[in-house]
Chains A and B, each alone.
Chain A
Amino acid sequence: MPKDRIVRPRRWVHIASVLLEWESMNKDDSADTPGNRISREQVALVARLARLDLSDEELDQYTDQLCAVLDHAAQVSSIDTSSVSAASNPLSATNVVREDRPAACIDRDEVLSMAPEAQDGMFKVPRIMEDEP
C-alpha cells in the first residue's frame, strides 16, 4: 500500500455529513416548538439516521402519519411541568452495584453460531474502511 494513502472509516464520514445536513435543515426552523409540520426531507434524513432505506411511497406515507401522531403528541407541551423533574423510573431511583466477581458466561461458540458470519472466534462484517484516492 502506498504511504500517502489515508484510510478512514466510512461510517464516521457518513454520520458527520448527516448531522451537518440536519443542522442546516433546522437552522431557520423554531426547532424547539413541537407541532410544526415535519417535512418529507426531514423524514428522509431521519430514515438515514435510523439506518432505514425507505421507498418514495414509504416516505410519503410516513410523512403524513408522523405528522398526525406528532400533532397529537404535541399536546404534552401545553401542560405546566415547571414544578417537576423528568421521571424515567417511577419507583426506585437507587443505583445498583454488585461485587465484580468472575462467573460463568454464555459459551462463545454458541453465541457465534447464531451470527450471520463469524471467523476465528469473531463476528465478521463487510468492509468498514475505504481507501482515500
Chain B
Amino acid sequence: MRASAGDVSAQVRQGRVSATSITERYLEAIESFDRELHAFLTVMADHAVEQATRIDRLVEMGKDPGPLAGVPVAIKDNLCTRGVPTTCASHILENWRPPYSATVVEKLERAGAVIVGKTNMDEFAMGSSTENSAFWATRNPYDADRVPGGSSGGSAAAVASGLSVVALGSDTGGSIRQPAALCGVVGMKPTYGMVSRYGLVAFASSLDQVGPFGTTVEDVALVFSVIAGHDPRDSTSLKVRRDVDTGLLTLADGVAVSGQEGVVDASYGSMPGEDAYIWPASHGLMDGAIEGLRVGVLKEITSDAAPDVRRRVEEAAAALVSLGATVEEVSIPELHYALGAYYLIAPAEASSNLARYDGIRYGLRVDAEDTTSMMSRTRSSGFGSEVKRRIMLGTYALSAGYYDAYYGQAQRVRAVLVDAFAAVYRDHDVLLGATTPATAFGVGEKTGDPLAMYLSDVCTIPSNLAGHPAISVPFGVDDDGLPVGVQVLAPALGEPVMFRVAAAIESAAPSLPPPPVCFADGMGVQSGMGYGHE
C-alpha cells in the first residue's frame, strides 16, 4: 500500500527510518514512473536531499523535526518556490525563478516536509484536464488514455501513483476536488481565507484557495492543520480561533490572534504575529461520531451525474444513515446560475490579474521596437489558447457598457447563492453530492469544446462562489473501474464537521484498488504495518 504521512513522520521521528533514505526512494520512483505519468514539471532532487539531511540531523540531536518529518510532498507549479522554477505551466514564466517562497511552502518545510518537485497543471490553473499545460499532458494513473482532471492534475496524479505522499494544489472552481475525484484520492478546498495565498500566483482572487491532496482524510487534515492560519502578508487571510473544548472554529472578531488563543500546538509552522495550528495534528480526527448530524444530499450537484456516480453518492448517504446521521434530499434551485456566474467572475478577475505579464519585470519578453508592441507580442506568444480565451472573455465582460450586466450581475448572483446556502445550513450540518458529473474522460475528448470542458466543474463551483470548504473522498469505482469521488460541503469555517463526515464516508467506502502506475514501497521497511507488501 501507499505510505501515509502520519506513518512516515512517525517512523522518521522515532529514528526507525531516515528522511534521506525515504527521499532517495521517492526520487528514484519519480525518475522511473513519471516517464509514463508526466505529473512533474520540475524535480527538486538536490533541494529535497538537503532538507532530508536537515531533518535527520534534528532527529539525531534529539529535536522534533515536525509533524510532517520526512514526508515527501509535491507542490503545484503555481506556488512560488524560491530559486526553483515556478512556471504555472506557461511559456510566459518558463524561465522564472521566484525570489521568495509561498507561505504554505515555508510552513510545510518548517513542519519537516520534504518537497520533491513541482507538479504539472493547466496553464495558470485554467482548465479541468491538465491538457492546457504548455509543456505536456499528465496521464490518469488508472488509465493512460484518460485525463487526471485539472487544473491540479499533476498533484492528484502524483499522490494517486504514490510518487509523493501528499501534495498541494489550488482550487478556484474545483481544481483540487475534481482531479482528486478523477484520480481516486482525497482533495480539499478550505474556507476562503483559511490558508495564506502569499506566493500563490493569482488567477481569480475572489475564488482562489490553496489546499491539500492525500490518500486519506487524516493525511489531508494533517496537511491542512500545517498550512492553515492567518498570514499578515495576505490581506484576505482570516483570523480564526479554535475552541479547545468544542473544536469549533470562529472568526476572531478582527482582533489579532496571538499568544495561546486558538493555538494548541505552536511549535511548528507559526510565524511572528500569526496563530499556528487551528487543527492540532494530535486531535483525534477519527473519534468524531456523526450520530445525530443532519446531512442534506444536494440535488443540483447529484441528480444529473452519471448513473454510476449517482449510485455511489446514494451508497455514501446510506452509510451515513447507518452511522446514525439523518439524511434527506435538499435543493438549491439558484445553483442553476452558478456556472454562468463563475464563467463571468473568474475570467474577469483573470484578465486583470494576468495584465502583469507584460514582458517588463519578469518572464518572457519578445522584443519589438516600442513597448506596446513588445507587450502584445510577448503576451501573444507566451500565453496558450485557453488563457487567451479567458483573458478575452474577461476583458469583454469588464468593458465599458457591459460591466454591470456581466460582472456586476454575476457578483449579485453570488450573493443570492450565499443566502440560499445559509438557508439550507440552518437545518443541515453538511451537504453531500457528487464531485464530478462523470468519471475521468478521455484525452482530447473535450479540448475542442470549451463549454463542455467548463461543465465538468459544475459540481465544485458552488463552494468557490460561496467561499465554503468542501472535500472529495474516493468512493469505489464506476463500471469501467475508474475512481468515483463523493463531495462533502460545509458552511464557512465548517472544516471540523466536514472532516468528521469525510472520515466516516471513507471508513464505509468500498476499497479502491491502487492504480496500475503506482509506487507502493515508499518506506522500504518491514514495519508490521504492511509496507512493501503490495
B258 touches A (CB below 8 Å): no
Known: A115-B360, A115-B361. A94 touches B254 (CB 8 A): yes
Q: How large is the interface on A (under 10, 10 to 19, 20 to 34, 35 or more residues)?
A: 35 or more
Q: Report the minimum CB–CB distance from B59 to chain A (whole Å).
A: 31
A10 to B370, CA, bound (A): 9
Known: A33-B405, A74-B340, A76-B413. A23 touches B400 (CB 8 A): yes
**Contact status B343-A86, CB under 8 Å:** no
**Other-chain residue from A54, A66, A68, A116 in contact with B380 (beta carbon distance below 8 A):** A54
Which of chain A's residues 98-133 have a Cβ closer than 8 Å to chain B? Answer: 98, 106-107, 110-111, 114-117, 123, 125-128, 130
B271 touches A (CB below 8 Å): no
A1 touches B (CB below 8 Å): no
**Other-chain residue from B370, B415, B419, B454 in contact with A69 (beta carbon distance below 8 A):** B454
A77 to B192, CA, bound (A): 26
**Contact status A72-B339, CB under 8 Å:** yes
| Chain B neighbourhood of A110, CB < 8 A | 99
**Other-chain residue from B376, B406, B450, B467 in contact with A53 (beta carbon distance below 8 A):** B376
| Chain B neighbourhood of A38, CB < 8 A | 396
B236 touches A (CB below 8 Å): yes
A3 touches B (CB below 8 Å): no
A87 to B404, CA, bound (A): 13
A70 to B410, CA, bound (A): 12
Which of chain A's residues 45-64 have a Cβ closer than 8 Å to chain B? Answer: 46-47, 49-54, 58, 62
**Other-chain residue from B96, B361, B405, B492 in contact with A90 (beta carbon distance below 8 A):** B492
B399 touches A (CB below 8 Å): yes
| Chain A neighbourhood of B192, CB < 8 A | 89-91
Chain A's closest residue to B395 (CB) is: A50
**Other-chain residue from B99, B236, B389, B410 in contact with A65 (beta carbon distance below 8 A):** B389
**Contact status B388-A114, CB under 8 Å:** no
**Contact status A114-B99, CB under 8 Å:** yes
**Contact status A86-B412, CB under 8 Å:** yes
Which of chain B's residues 274-305 have a Cβ closer than 8 Å to chain A? Answer: none
Known: A23-B400, A51-B379. A84 touches B467 (CB 8 A): no
A113 to B377, CA, bound (A): 22
A96 to B237, CA, bound (A): 10
| Chain A neighbourhood of B31, CB < 8 A | none
| Chain A neighbourhood of B334, CB < 8 A | 79
A106 to B396, CA, bound (A): 36
**Contact status B380-A53, CB under 8 Å:** yes
Chain A's closest residue to B394 (CB) is: A50
Which of chain B's residues 416-469 have a Cβ closer than 8 Å to chain A? Answer: 416, 418-419, 450-451, 454, 465-468
Which of chain B's residues 346-385 have a Cβ closer than 8 Å to chain A? Answer: 351, 355, 358-365, 367-377, 379-380, 383, 385
Q: Report the minimum CB–CB distance from A123 to chain B (whole Å).
A: 5
| Chain B neighbourhood of A42, CB < 8 A | 396
**Contact status A89-B372, CB under 8 Å:** no
**Contact status A90-B416, CB under 8 Å:** no
A59 to B240, CA, bound (A): 48
| Chain A neighbourhood of B99, CB < 8 A | 106-107, 110-111, 114
**Contact status B404-A32, CB under 8 Å:** yes
| Chain A neighbourhood of B351, CB < 8 A | 50
**Contact status A52-B236, CB under 8 Å:** no
B182 touches A (CB below 8 Å): no
Chain B's closest residue to A82 (CB) is: B412
**Contact status A125-B371, CB under 8 Å:** yes
**Contact status B467-A91, CB under 8 Å:** yes
Can you list 28 contacts pairing A with B, beta carbon distance less than 8 Å?
Answer: A11-B371, A31-B402, A31-B405, A32-B401, A32-B402, A32-B405, A33-B405, A34-B406, A49-B399, A51-B355, A51-B376, A52-B383, A62-B388, A66-B393, A69-B450, A70-B393, A72-B340, A73-B406, A73-B410, A76-B337, A86-B414, A89-B193, A90-B192, A91-B238, A106-B99, A106-B100, A116-B360, A116-B364
List 10 A-B pairs, minimum CB-CB distance, nearest first: A90-B467, A31-B401, A116-B365, A86-B411, A81-B412, A84-B415, A87-B415, A73-B340, A53-B380, A96-B235
